[in-house]
Amino acid sequence: MPVISESHLAGILATEADHIVNILPDNLESRHFFDARRLKTLKPGAVFYNIGRGAMVDQAAQLDALRSGRLKAAWLDVTEPEPLPDNHPLLAEPNCFITPHVAGGHFDEAGTLVRHLLKNFEHYVRGEPLCDQVM
């Protein structure tokens, strides 16, 4: 039986995946792992999510992939630099969604989440739009 390397398997899966989620850590081997070459191998119309580190993605190549339609959308919780400068082109891309990279850990976080859930439940019961609905 032939041995398939992890990177080869990842390449095979990426060409067929509708959604790609980057969770890579920041190290020399993973820096710009998602470069122009790798982004061009993704299935046309794939959606890319970056929740790992901003340095793992060549953002110029990502911008090209978004503009060409190779990527249908990008959801970025991390960027390089972070936050992006006000004039950064990714901020103007209609199919690029940038979240604030706020993982939590604030005072009374559990209470805030419960209050938000209850408020949204009230809206749901009344048939009203939910607060902070993402999709």
Give the Cα separation of 101 and 87 in Å (integer): 19
At 53 the three-state DSSP class reads coil
Is 6 annotated as catalytic? no
Is 82 annotated as catalytic? yes
Ramachandran bin of 106, using left for φ above 0, alpha for ψ from -120 to 50, beta for the remaining angles: beta
- 32, 82, 88, 123: the active-site residue: 82
Is 101 annotated as catalytic? yes
- 8, 67, 101, 115: the active-site residue: 101
Radius of gyration of the chain (CA): 18
Active site residues: 53, 82, 101
